[in-house]
Chain A
Amino acid sequence: MAEIKKLIRRQKRWDLLFGLLGILATFSGLLTLLALLIDLASDGLPQLSWKFFISFPSRFSDQAGILSAWVGTTLVMLVTACSVVPLGVAAGIYLEEYAKKNWLSTLIEINIANLAGVPSIVYGLMALGLFVYRLRLGQSILTAGLTLALLILPIVIVATREAIRAIPCGIREAAQALGATKWQMIKDHLIPYGSGGILTGIIIALSRAIGETAPLLTIGALTFIAFLPEAPISGEFPFVSLTWLRSPFTVLPIQMFNWLSRPQADFHRNAAAAGLVLIFMTLAMNGLAIFLRYRFRRRIRW
């Protein structure tokens, strides 16, 4: 009896120890996140000023800013969103609603799962060979936007499929019973009801794209740019100009990489400030996605 009690005590002690180890491991993860944020903030916060946002990069660290970087990030994201949303949502709808179970749809599904595991820099190489040199789009905002769109396409497809799959079959049957065609049913019912989930997925995908550096370096994004692309809207006819699509560019992560590669500590502080802006954008988008998911989940009860 005493033996058994000892055994039980020992096992209970191990149980407790492992529980403590688990808490420790979890906290070490959270602490690292905190250390990273504090380290970045303590170096970067003093650099953040209005001037930092409206100045071009410069040889002098105290005059350098991120104007061309955040404008470039915005424009590249615009191209990415405009190309990935129709493509990804359409592909998701096809796979969920139309695709028959045959070798082609299986191939497409396996392929999408595998695309998600391809390193981002390989997308950059593909874009360099295909967009820059084959299609002669140049090292431009257009190339960058398309590259990132291809990179995040699997995320958008998967999110769309999950959002549509969650809609109960009764809705589809009711629409078709009233004589709606398949497309009318999709357009008037599935897309509106799934829009919350789809939007959440798109925001998460874009927040991933905004931090990508490697594929853009590969296609030849410049690391030092002291001008802005031509404005998309002008006062004269034809009012809308698309030349900005062909303009060279830089983005926030590349600007940060550029400053980080220099040996001077002053530039490292600039890098930290750029990193703060970048991390704020990423976390804000992730937060928005979590909020949207929560809201849509609560509002809709099937």
Chain B
Amino acid sequence: MPSAEPLAPLAPPAPPTAPAPPAAPPRRRGRPAGLSPYAFLAPFFTLFAAFGIFPLLYTAYVSLYRAELQTPGELEWRGLGNYTALFTDPFFWTALRNTFTMGVLSTVPQLLMALGLAHLLNYRLRARTFFRTALLLPYATSVAAASLIFAQLFGHDFGLVNRLLDLVGIHPVDWQNGTAASQIAVSSIVVWRWTGYNALIYLAGMQTIPSELYEAAEVDGASRLRQFLHVTLPGLRPTIVFTSTVSTIGATQLFGEPLLFEGSMSGGISHQYQTLGLYMYEQGWGFFHLGRAAAIAWVMFLLIVVLVGVNALAARRRSRKEAGR
């Protein structure tokens, strides 16, 4: 296919430094082949340096000072004071705990439901494209719109959820002020928005599993459930690792949904659903303590690194075990 050669972006290009066989025609003329990949990568890396590395380092720098938004000229050295203060800060621990519980409350059902939905969509059904598009619609909705709607659904007196509960004889739940109730309500927004997105990723993963495996399983008399457990799940492992990593990062940074649920930075009157992201925002842009906010940002960053590391380790151990079997 000579005509497709320059257009195939996915084909791994031959390493330019590799000694080319003498018979091969020269691919580029007039340029030292060794530099051009770097030139093509340069825009990304310069942007990354400006908008990725620099803010990161600057945040680390600010986190060592007492820095206030209103009096930016008066930086006062605190060393690690902003970090150590977090250990005795009850609001930080509340936020950390909330981030964790809401992370579990949103990520686990989200990924399980996504798996199930993807499995269903993987069958040959009528109007498959319609269902796949419909799955992605919540993800396309803005977080602001979704949170506003959910806040109304979970309203105490006139919310639809409480009315439905009333029909089955359950007393109205205070979705705003109750600790568990408010966390469930906020998590449900996250679940609603991201389930379809993850389902599509799982679906893509499922379609890479060779159909011969399913055929063989069927010949062996495996039920649909057994096929799912013994063919689909093992085949999806890399995809599952990917989605759980991405979801963990997302859960650690959870911000928009709790912020917009009641429109308050404090995450409810008792901080009952204030996440780390929200707490950082409140410190920085509610109380204008930029140094402390920066310290929280770094703690969040390190937390994510640790969580992702644990995730990767678990995945590697799992697959090593599998290989040894």
The yes or no verdict on A and B being binding partners is no
